[in-house]
Copies of this chain bind each other. A is one copy, B any other.
Amino acid sequence: MSAIKFCLAQLNFKIGDFEGNTAKIADTIFNAKQKGADLVIFSEMSVCGYMPDDLLDYPWFVEKCEQSLEAVAQSCQGIAAIVGGVMRNPNKGRSLQNVVCFMQNGRIQQITAKTLLPTYDVFNESRYFEPASATELINFKGVQIGVAICEDIWDIYNDFEYPKSPGTILKDLGADIIINPSASPFHLGKQSLRNRVFSGQASRFDLPVIYANQVGIHTELIFDGASRAINSNGEVALQLPEFKEAVHYIDFENNKFVSSNTVPVEPDEIETLHAALIFGIQDYFNKMGFKKAVLGSSGGIDSAVVQALLTEALGAENVLAVLMPSQFSSDGSVNDAKQLSINLENTFEILPISSIFNQFEDTLKPVFNGREFNLAEENIQARSRGVLLMAISNKLGNILINTSNKSEMSVGYSTLYGDMCGSLSVLGDVYKGQVYALARYINRHKEIIPQEIIEKAPSAELRPGQKDSDSLPDYGVLDEILRLYIEGRKSKDEITMEGYESQVVERIVNMVNANEYKRYQAPPIIRVSSKAFGKGRIMPLVAKYQ
């Protein structure tokens, strides 16, 4: 009977790097041929990387994409490949299609376009693509292969049900297997969601499924790989790792995968979060060509966790910590911050900001005119630190990394152009409670983050004796209200009905709404939840909210 040796290529592509991406694909095809594979499967939009966004509006970009697909096809001699890309739409409608090419004998044999175009949260595909108008199978070595691109296999796993089910169409056409080249971004819980979706769909269609995801970070999005092959009973026959490139082989005989490895258990949430952030930092620095980072080290929990993550991701010698105490900083904070840098073996600098702060106050005297200390003075401190950090970044070339967490970003407990500065936000999608859990995880083998940092009450230290809890509820309560409002899309009334004080809910939700303007100017945030701030959450600024 029919037998195919599949090669599942889970690779890291760079958006727009046609040369690099094409070389990587051709290389993989060459190696797979050496190993006797019949068909190599790459991820969605592999020649151009996912997602080039409005680069797709530039005709030269699309031409290069088409040329790259042609070039890759030439390397398919004695072996076949399924390669994703973008092509011009030959018919009426949007000018492009998101396609997968079946390549054999040195040329593109068949083109399958994507049917379901995700256009929600971080996805924007209807902005560029016309959906497929027809579907056909690929006959390869006697096996009828159906191609469903990414979202095409998620037809019933969304907030809404698509009018079309590409899987059902493929099944009805007589497919023996569904191949699903994807660009599926990570968020916490995505792995168990995928377990449900792929095993569920394999069973529903009674067909084996190969899911081939890309890996790598593209601005806010982490693509985590975790590609797999699933038999028609829903059992996982092959599971690729998360957060790294991997090329695996699996034999397909009599419409069944010959299992090649066992399925890893779902890892701990905080372990996964930690791995995702480390990978996110590393791949961002790699792809941008950056090497060294700088951050403000306040002695608080957020900067401590970011500093530890940067150190693990980039190496101790590539992280510069800057301590910028003011007259309101406690000695404890400075000592804790020092101890952290010592523990992590990072270079650190201490640049007190009192003289700068006093100079600003002096200069502003004619305007401030004796008005009392308030938010303005708090922000001057945070912004003076921003100026120092950016100056160091400009002078030494270290990239400034932001340390705000999601709880703060939500309620605007952060200073625009101050502690909101940075090229990349590491914790902007991590709630305060998760930040503590990360700290404990980082300390799992030995005390890296001084225990004092974990134990003391959070404070911005921008005025005497300030504590976060002066103006915010405990982080346990705050995080839960935020989750219900941001991820859960609940109304104030619904949140109150879950058992929270209505005045507190009212205040927190209003703070979230009132601070859209700050988040509009925030750095890109590594996305680790199903609803992160950034491109996946578009809110009007000029509006009247609930």
A: residues with CB less than 8 A from B are 14-17, 20, 49, 51-55, 57-61, 91-95, 117, 119-120, 124, 126-127, 159-163, 217-219, 284, 287-288, 322, 349, 351-353, 355-356, 359-360, 362-364, 366-368, 371, 374-377, 379-380, 383-384, 386-388, 390-392, 394-396, 416-417, 421, 423, 489, 491, 493-494, 517, 520-524, 535, 537-546
Residues in B with CB closer than 8 Å to A546 are: 16, 58, 60-61
Task: Return chain B residues, CB-CB under 8 Å to A524.
Answer: 520, 541
**Contact between chains at B539 and A54 (CB < 8 Å):** yes
What's the Cα separation between A159 and B54 when bound, in Å? 14
Known contacts A60-B491, A61-B546, A371-B395; A538/B53 CB under 8 A: yes
Q: How far is the CA of A49 from the CA of B95 in the complex (A)?
A: 30
Q: Decide if A163 touches B92 in the complex (CB within 8 Å).
A: yes
CA distance A345 to B64 in the complex (A): 56
Specify the chain B residue showing the minimal Cβ separation from A378: B394
Residue from B52, B159, B520 within 8 A of A543 (CB atoms): B52
CB of B15 within 8 A of CB of A162, answer no
Contacts of A543 in B (CB 8 A): 14-17, 49, 52, 55, 218
Give, as a whole number of angstroms, the nearest-CB distance from A169 to chain B: 15
Please tell me how many copies of the chain the complex holds.
2
Find A364's partner among B351, B417, B421 (CB 8 Å cutoff).
Answer: B351
Given that A120-B127, A543-B14, A543-B16 are known contacts, is A159 also in contact with B95, CB under 8 Å in the complex?
yes
In whole angstroms, how far apart are the Cα atoms of A521 and B491 in the complex? Answer: 29
Task: Assess whether A540 is in contact with B53, with CB atoms less than 8 Å apart.
Answer: yes
CB distance from A410 to the nearest CB of B (A): 15
For the complex, give the distance between the alpha carbons of A322 and B363 in Å. Answer: 12
Select which of B53, B58, B59, B395 is within 8 A of A376 by beta carbon.
B395
Question: B355–A359 contact, CB under 8 A?
Answer: yes
| Bound: A366/B322 CA distance, A | 12
Contacts of A351 in B (CB 8 A): 363-364, 366-367
CB nearest neighbor in B for A320: B367
B residues less than 8 Å from A17 (CB atoms): 543-544
A92 to B54, CA, bound (A): 30
Decide if A15 touches B540 in the complex (CB within 8 Å): yes
> Which residues from chain B contact A384 at a C-beta distance below 8 Å?
387
**Smallest distance from the beta carbon of A381 to chain B beta carbons, Å?**
10
3 tightest Cβ-Cβ pairs between the two chains A and B: A126-B126, A15-B543, A376-B394
A119 to chain B, nearest CB (A): 5
* A364 with B380, Cβ < 8 A, contacts A119-B127, A160-B95, A524-B541 known: no
Sampled A-B contacts (12; CB under 8 Å): A14-B544, A49-B543, A58-B491, A93-B161, A219-B540, A356-B360, A374-B395, A383-B390, A383-B417, A386-B417, A387-B417, A521-B522
> Nearest chain B CB to A133's CB is how many angstroms away?
9
